[in-house]
Amino acid sequence: MAKYTFSYFPIKALGEGPRLLLAYGGEEWKDNRVSPDQWPDFKPSKSTGSSGALCESPRLLLAYGGEEWKDNRVSPDQWPDFKPSKSTGCSGALCESPRLLLAYGGEEWKDNRVSPDQWPDFKPKTIFGQMPVLEFEGRQFAQSLAISRYLGHKYGVAGANILEDLEIDQMVEFMPELDAKYPQFKKIHDTVLSLPKVKEYNDAAYP
């Protein structure tokens, strides 16, 4: 019996990375291609059971740190007044996990907040033309999740083994998908104001 079962949609290249690595590993595994017709029956059995949230990683790290902190939840009505005073030059909460991990690590680091006016001059100096970037030892690294994974391992707050890393990474990768779907959910919630419609969207988009 196969030790692993890898299920995916038969869309070109979507499952290729994991499939190549499983083949390279040399262990027996089952290649389960789920068609659109099979998906409605298959999805409930593989639900992650998590609602996720873009802010959860920083909040969990703050709770783990044990120090007193203020959980400041900014409502949509408060956001126009709050945004200008708290801009980091980085989109939304993308910079928060690396910053919290750097603070948790206890090493000296520079918090370089690039304003919109500075960005046109700073952008060509970045590796992918994006932020955030982490610079050390004469090198520059990008992508907030990659930076957070590195810092998590460096400061001892990553998984204790590769299985725990997998459990963490699946939720980290799932959160941006939920965040991308939220505007559509909010539109349904605000315009339709129908509990059955909200439930239908929850069941379909938020397993």
Quick one: pLDDT at residue 77? 72
Q: How far apart are CA 58 and CA 60, in angstroms?
A: 6
Q: Which carries the bigger pLDDT value, residue 84 or residue 204?
A: 204
Above pLDDT 90, what percent of the chain? 17
pTM beyond 0.85, yes or no: no
- Burial (0-12, 13-18, 19+ Cβ within 10 Å), 131: buried
Averaged confidence pLDDT in the chain: 76
Q: What pLDDT is attached to residue 42?
A: 83
Residues 6+ apart with CB under 8 A from 154: 105
CATH code of domain 1-46: 3.40.30.10
The runs of H, that is alpha helices, within the chain are: 16-25, 39-42, 56-65, 79-86, 96-105, 119-122, 144-154, 162-191, 195-205
Nearest alpha carbon to residue 7 among 48, 50, 46: 46
Q: What is the CATH number of domain 53-207?
A: 3.40.30.10
Q: Do the Cβ atoms of 4 and 27 come closer than 8 Å?
A: yes
Question: Is residue 189 pLDDT above 90, yes or no?
Answer: no
Q: What is the pLDDT of residues 141-164, one digit of tens each?
A: 999 889 999 999 999 988 889 999
Query: What pLDDT is attached to residue 47?
Result: 42
Is the confidence at residue 53, as pLDDT, over 60? no
Which part of the chain has CATH 3.40.30.10? 1-46, 53-207
The 10s digit of each residue's pLDDT in 93-113 is 668 888 889 988 988 999 898
Q: What is the mean pLDDT of residues 117-138?
A: 91
pLDDT at 117 over 80: yes
157 closest CA partner among 107, 100, 207, 195: 100
Q: Are 87 and 125 in contact (CB under 8 A)?
A: no
Question: Which of 4-13, 88-97, 108-117, 161-170 is predicted with the least confidence, judged by mean pLDDT?
Answer: 88-97
Backbone angles phi, psi at 8, to 5 degrees: -160, 165
Least confident of 23-27, 146-150, 165-169: 23-27
Given a contact cutoff of 8 angstroms between Cβ atoms, the answer to whether 179 and 55 are in contact is no
Structure tokens given for 165: 């890393």
